Amino acid sequence: MTFHFLSTLKILNILSISSSIILSLIGITSIIVFHEFGHFIFCKLFGVYTPTFSIGIGKKLLTKKIGDTDFCLSAGPLGGYVEIATEATAGKKGFNSINYLQKCLIMLGGIAFNMFFAYIAFSLLFYIGMPDSAFMPYENTTPFVTTVNKESINYNELQSNDTIISIDNIKIENRSEIIKDILNKNIAVNKYSIPALVIRNNKEETVILKLNMDIKPMLIEDRLELFLARKAPLSIAQSISHGIMLTHFYIKAIFNSLKNLASTKSSQGLAGPIMTLAASTKIAQKGLKALLIFLSIISINLGIMNLLPLPIFDGGQFVIFTTETIMRREISDRVKEMIGTSSWFLVLGFMVIFSIKDIYLLIHQYIL
C-alpha cells in the first residue's frame, strides 16, 4: 500500500514537471512567434511578399495556405520564423523594392511586438490581480488573502479575502517595507507572533500573525504560509497605466544590466537556453500568472537582443540596408552570405558555451 502511494506521488510529480516543461516551451515559442508576427504585419501593410510563416522550426508538419502565405506548424518546438522575399515575386513587392523607412518599420515591427506583448501581459495581470512574485519591483496596493491551507500556521487567524492593511502597527505600502522593515526585524529578535490589522467583511479586525522562522529570505506568502494576491485587481485605465510603467521599468533595468556587463566584461548575469528553459519550467509550476510575468520579461529581453548589430538579428539587418542606402547600391550576395555565416558561427558558439555553463550550474544546483 505504501509503495503504491509513493509510486503514485512519483508519477504525479513527473506529470507535473512534464506539463510545466511543455507549458514553458509553448510560452517561449509564443513570444518568438509574436516577434515574427510583428515583421509579418508590417510586410503585409507595405505589400511585401511573405511566402512562409512558421510556428516552430525544422520539418514542416502541417501547412495551410492563407492568401499568398503558407502558415506552417513545424517539428522544432522552440522558435518560429517569417520568410520575407528579397526581390519582387509574382507581382508582389520584395524587401529590396520598398523605401528605407518601410524597411526600418518592418525590422522594428518584431521588436515593437515584443514590447507590446509585455504591455498587454502586465496590463492583464494588473486587471485580474497581480500575484506575489520576486520579479515585481514594487507594490501599489495592500495584499489580500486568496487561500489559507489547513496546514498553515495562520489557518485559524486569516480567512480568504482578508485584506492586510498593517502589520505590527505599521501601515503596509510596499513589499520592501513588509519584508525588510517588519518581518525581518521581528525574526531577528525571535519574535514569531505579531499583531496585524485586516479588513474582513468590510470591517477592521485585529489578528495575531505567526511567522515561519526559517532564516533564509522568503516572500511574504511563504513567511506567513498562505497565498496572497499582492495587487488587487485594478480598473482598465489603471491596469494599462501600471502595465506600461512596469514594462518601461524592465526596459531600463535590462539596458542597465547590459551596460554593467559590458563595463565589467563578465558573463555572470547571462543565462543560456538550457537555464532559461529550466527557469521557465520551475516558474510554470507556480502557476500561469507567474509564468506570464517571466515570459513578459523574456519578451522584453528578446526585443532588446534583436537590436544587436549582427546579421541574424534585426539590428544587423538594419545595419546592412542602411549601408546599402548610403552607398546607393546593394551589398553582394557573397559578402552578405559570408557575414551571415560568420554571425551564425559566432552566435552558435556562444550558445554552446552558455549551454555548457548552464549544465554545469544545474548539476551543482541539483546533484552535487
Residue-range domain boundaries for the chain: 144-229
Measure Cα distances from 224 to 130, 151, 169, 176, 320 in Å.
Answer: 18, 11, 17, 16, 56
The three grid cell numbers given for residue 25, joined into one nine-digit string: 516551451
Q: Taking the mean position of all CA atoms in its chain, how far away is CA 259?
A: 20
**Could you tell me if 65 and 110 are in contact, meaning their C-beta atoms sit under 8 angstroms apart?**
no
Given this model, what pLDDT does residue 109 score?
A: 93
Which three cell numbers, joined as nine digits, stand for 368?
552535487
Amino acid at 29: T
Whole-angstrom Cα distance, residue 246 to residue 251? 9
Q: Tell me the C-alpha distance between 158 and 198, whole Å.
A: 9
User: Residue 367: what pLDDT?
Assistant: 44
CB 206 within 8 A of CB 196: yes
Quote the pTM value: 0.68
Q: Which residues of 214-235 are buried (b: 16+ CB within 10 A; e: fewer)?
A: eeeebbbbebbbbbbbbbeebe
pLDDT of residue 350: 57
Residue 223: strand, helix, or coil = helix
pLDDT at 223: 79
Q: pLDDT tens per residue, the chain (368 residues)?
A: 445 444 554 565 566 566 767 777 788 888 889 999 999 999 999 999 999 999 988 889 999 999 889 999 998 877 888 999 988 887 789 998 899 999 999 999 999 999 999 999 999 988 887 776 656 665 555 567 878 888 888 888 888 888 888 888 887 765 445 655 677 788 778 888 889 888 888 888 899 988 888 767 677 777 788 777 656 677 889 889 889 988 998 888 888 877 776 666 555 555 555 556 566 566 666 678 878 888 888 899 889 888 888 777 888 888 888 888 888 887 777 777 777 677 666 666 656 655 555 555 555 554 44
Nearest Cα residue to 220 out of 144, 311, 323, 125:
144
Backbone φ and ψ for 271, nearest 5 degrees, come out as -125, 145
Grid-cell match 526585524, residue found: 185
Give the H/E segment covering residue 272.
Answer: none
Q: For residue 203, what are the β-bridge partners?
A: 200
Closest Cα partner for 76 from 56, 60, 61, 53? Answer: 56
The reply to whether CATH 2.30.42.10 applies to domain 144-229 is: yes
